[in-house]
Structure formats: structure tokens, C-alpha cells
Structure 1
Amino acid sequence: MDLVLNVADYYFFTPYIYPATWPEDDIFRQTISLLIVTNIGAYILYFFCATLSYYFVYDHALMKHPQFLKNQVSREIKFTVQALPWMSVPTVALFLLELRGYSKLYDDIGEFPSGWFQLIVSVISFLFFTDMLIYWIHRGLHHRLVYKHVHKPHHIWKIPTPFASHAFHPLDGFLQSLPYHIYPFIFPLHKVVYLGLYILVNIWTISIHDENGCKNEKIFNGELTKTE
């Protein structure tokens, strides 16, 4: 995330927003900047990708289904807009730890003897690690003691559209993103790869809420959600 913050500081925050006397490495300034960048980035990615998916991929015939709610699209968007800032708070805390040098993120491929091979292996490892943990987190969120309080709001949308992709309870949304953030604290990962994978993961989250993704999700929910 320091790559994004450096660009934001150079082109926006330093010349136009913050006093020249406020150091760029001040932790309070970094926290504010990360909150701004993370939220703006999340909204842009969400609206851009969900809109494309909604108009060019999503099967609008699904909106005639009896379980499709009245004004559902606007409700999904409203839910997401309200939830994203709360999801960003713990996310920014982890970004801040990365920024302060507590993670194993690196920016020089030459730091490792195996170089590019290490980078390729880290991508495969990242995908395996995050997919495995998200499965178990998602399964845990369907536990009867947790489901109705945290995860059920996401399943209000029985026939979801891509705009439901980020319509989570804030704790639910953060927990399901947690594996992506804790990976670089355990394993080395290139900063550009981490940023790219983080963006792709959010695009993937939107893509699984088109009609094909919905079918797979319903199979999962039908097996685990006994308390609806």
C-alpha cells in the first residue's frame, strides 16, 4: 500500500492537502491518508466493476424471480455504501502495519536468490492460502450462533446482482478479506503482486455475484444454512 500512498502524497496530499511542515511518515497523517485512499479506491472499484458486470454479464431475467426484492439494486448499493467505511477501519490498521515495516512485503525481486521463481510460487501460495482460509471463515459464518448476527444480512439478497458483492455486515466483509491481509505478515510477497492480487480479489468478488456465481453460492448456502 505504500506504493499507492507515495503516489497520492506526491500528486495530491503533499502539494494540495497537508501543510508542508507535516512529515509524510507521520503515523497520524498516514492513517488519515490510508482511510481516504482505501475508501475512494473501494468505491471506484465497486461501482466501476459492478456496473460493467450488471450491464454486460448479469442475466436481467433473474430480476423477474419472485424472490427478487423491490428496489433491490438500490438497496444493495445503499447497504454497500454504508458498510464500506466501517470495513475500511480494521483494513487500514493492517495497511498501516505494512506501511510501518511489520510485514514481509518487498519491492526488489533481487532480494531472493530464486528471484522470479520465488515470485511465481508466492502467487500460487497466496491463492491457495487465501482460498483455504476463506472457505473455513465462510463456513464458520454459517454457524447457527454467528449466522443471523453477522452473515445473514448478505443473504437477504436471495437473487443477488453484482451490486450485492460488497453488501456485507462490516465484520463479515472484513473477516472474509482477512486472509488476504495476513498472508504478507507470514510469507514474503512482492508489493506490486500484493496490490494486483488485492484488486483482482475484489473484481472476483463482484464476478461471483453474476448469475453463474449465484448458482454456486446457493449450493453452498443450501448445504450450510439451516437456520434461515
Structure 2
Amino acid sequence: MHAQILEWFTREGRSLPWREHYSPYSVWVSETMLCQTQVERVIPRYLLWMQRFPDVFVLARASLTELLQIWEGLGYYSRPRYMWETAKAVVTTFQGEFPRDYQTLRRFPGIGDYTACAILSIAYNLPYPAIDGNAKRVFARLLDLRIPIQTKEAYRYIFDAALSSIHQGEARFFNQAIMDLGALICTPRRPRCHACPVRDFCLAFQRNTQEFRPVREKRLLQDVEATIILFYHQGRVLI
């Protein structure tokens, strides 16, 4: 599977501006922007951001107002605030160099599990699975995972499968290939299985369950009992 997906990525992978340079800073900026925001909306803002704040030193010296102006339109405005705080911490404590350690990265404001793994794998090419929504969907189908995708158990299955699939020195391209596969081929609805480079390895495809994966947790409807008291006085009703 590893060879097939990398070969496909070489031919069909998306051309994105943050893939021109795999610096920790550019990976961090792009992945933070992409959180809860579509790629098409991110691209122009990313280019504008990198033009105004080309590295973490410039970002740390900027004012929060400047960051918010560039960020306008992307939503979730806690993100640029966290980035500003993180930039200052990276410059002050680590001389502008993003740490290569997962636990240290996780201590920075706004850097969660996914962003930390993305920095380590895409920027530093270290063997960390970057499990975003696309990756979850791809592996849920590859494994024909029958447990709800939101659960910790499902995440552990997916993380372990992704980790075992990463070959030494190829984490950067493997993680990006999985992301692109989910975005272009293994889509939420009507996946293009006929064009998938790893369909021979996909248990959901073999069992024809791909339209039912990933499994979503069902929300239980609860009956709610309520008592309403009405007061009627001189033509007026009070609830």
C-alpha cells in the first residue's frame, strides 16, 4: 500500500503554496489556518500572511491587531491569538526554532495533537501520523472500521495503522498523500473507488461497505417531561 499511495501522490497530489517549502513555520501556519477552514479560503490568506510575516521572528514582533487584520475572513479568531503567543514563546525560549519533540510542541497555545504531528512529520520528516478528518475517513475504510469514528478506540486503531504504514524517511509525503486521497478520492459521499490507488488493500471496498464508513455515533433522543402552568387574569395569560 505504501508504494502505491506514494506513486499516486507523485502524479496526482495537490499543488498547494505551503508545499513549496517544508519549514516548521510554514507547516504550522498552514495547518492552523486549515483547521475548520476550507483549502480554497485558506490559500489567499496564507499567501498574504507569509508576505507580511515571512518567519516566526517577524510574527513575534508584530502586533495582535496586525495578525487579526490579515486573518479577517477565516473565522475562529482565537487561532491568531494563540499563534501570536506561540511565536513569542518560540523566539524567546527556543531561539526561533520549533522543537522536534511532541510533548514540547503540545505545550504551545493552540497546538493540539494533529498540528504537533503535522509539524514533526511534514517539516521534520519524523514518523508521526498526522490524523486529520481526511485521514480518519481513509483509514476507517481501509480497515472497514465498525466502531464510531469519534471514539478514542477508533482513533487508536487508526493511529496504529497509520504509524505502521509510514516507512523510514517518508512520513512527510505519506501523510500528505493520505490527506489528498481523502480530499480527492476517498470523499465523504460517493467515493471514487475506481480511481483509488489502494482499493486492493481496502476492506470496505472488498466488502462493499465504503458508503457506510466511517461509522458515526448515533445521538440518542431523550423524552423530556415538562410542566407548564398558565395563569389567566383579566384577559391576560402568564406562562
TM normalised by structure 1 equals 0.31
Higher relative contact order (CA 8 A, sep 6+): 1
Which structure has more helix as a fraction of its residues?
A: 1
TM normalised by structure 2 equals 0.30
Greater gyration radius: 2
